[in-house]
Amino acid sequence: MHKIAIALGLTGFLAVIAVVPATLAQQRPTVDAAKVDAAIQAAFPTFPTAASDWTPRLAPDETMKQCVANDNLPPKAVGDAIMAREKATIQYPTDGKLVGDWKKGETLAQSGFGLRFTDYPARDRPNGGNCYACHQLTKTEVSYGTIGPSLLAYGKIRNFGEAETKAAYEKIYNPHASYPCSLMPRLGNNKVLTIEQIKDAVALLMSPDSPVNQ
């Protein structure tokens, strides 16, 4: 489904999903949401650090609830509501500069470090964005995943445009702002990456001298 949606692009995607969800929704078993929540609460009794770091992870927020209820293919009205809600979360650098250092971007794209229960107690090491887990980015890195589309030559294809640079920043900050129920993490919104790190990831995609564009 997702592959098809990506191929069609967003407009096609929204047109397709407008007809699909009713049939999909019927296949889901009926389980009381409170029962699921209670099972989750009981299944994770111990946390490596303060409970306040962990309990929020156990529950989906409103957007995730809507995505799960629609098998990640929300009908148009729900999708529009998600995009509006998620777009409102995006914070921009105060100096207005969206492009950081692509070398740091490459490092964070390679790194899956951070927020796993073995990553505590906190170390003096930044979280990674783990882009390569899901995306092809450069010709040199052959160990890449395929959950997301290839980002080879991302900036070059887009002529390193200003609007496209902003779109890349917003995508990394919160992918649901443009693609409701994306499988990509909300790295900015969920405080996985800092604004500085997101700028570095943008640089990896949008700098002419980045290995992504060679």
Partner 1 sequence: MELKRTLVAVLLVIGLSPVAMAQDLDTEKAIERYRQMLKADPWSNPGLLDVDRGETLWATPRGPKNVSLEQCDLGKGPGKVDGAFAELPRYFADADRVMDVETRILWCMEKLQGFNRADLIKSPHPSGGQPVKELGAMATYVANKSSGMKFAAKLDQPKERETVALGQALFNRRSGPFDFACTTCHAETGKRIRLQGLPFLSNPEEARKVIGEWPAYRVSSTHVMTMQHRLVDCFWQMRMPPLELGSDVSVALIAYLAKTAEGGEINAPALKR
Q: Which position among 25, 57, 139, 162 is part of the footprint of partner 1 (CB under 8 A)?
A: 57
Q: Which position among 9, 26, 31, 124 is part of the footprint of partner 1 (CB under 8 A)?
A: 31
Q: Which position among 80, 117, 157, 162 is part of the footprint of partner 1 (CB under 8 A)?
A: 117
Give the interface segment with ligand HEC, choosing from 12-20, 23-31, 71-79, 182-190 (CB under 6 A): 182-190
Does 135 sit near ligand HEC (CB under 6 A)? yes
Does 67 sit near partner 1 (CB under 8 A)? yes
Burial degree of 179 (CB within 10 A; 0-12, 13-18, 19+): buried
Does 101 sit near partner 1 (CB under 8 A)? no
Instruction: Identify residue 96 by its one-letter amino acid code.
Output: G
Task: Provide CB contacts within 8 A for 12, sequence distance 6+.
Answer: 5
Residue 177 interaction partner, one of partner 1, ligand HEC, none, beta carbon < 5-8 Å per kind = none
Q: Could you give the CA distance from residue 131 to residue 109 in angstroms, rounded to a whole number?
A: 5
Does 60 sit near partner 1 (CB under 8 A)? yes
Does 171 sit near ligand HEC (CB under 6 A)? yes
Give the phi and the psi of residue 83 in degrees, each rounded to 5: -60, -45
Does 132 sit near partner 1 (CB under 8 A)? yes
Residue 172 interaction partner, one of ligand HEC, partner 1, none, beta carbon < 5-8 Å per kind = ligand HEC
Contact 187, 127 (CB under 8 A): no
Q: Which residues of 111-137 are buried (b: 16+ CB within 10 A; e: fewer)?
A: beebeeeeeeeeeeebbbbbbbbbbbb
Give the phi and the psi of residue 150 in degrees, each rounded to 5: -65, 140
- Cα four-point dihedral sign 149, 109, 158, 77: positive
Does 145 sit near partner 1 (CB under 8 A)? yes
Residues near partner 1, by CB under 8 A:
1-3, 28-31, 35-36, 39-40, 42-48, 54, 57-60, 64, 67-68, 71-72, 115-118, 132-134, 143-147, 183, 185-186, 190-192
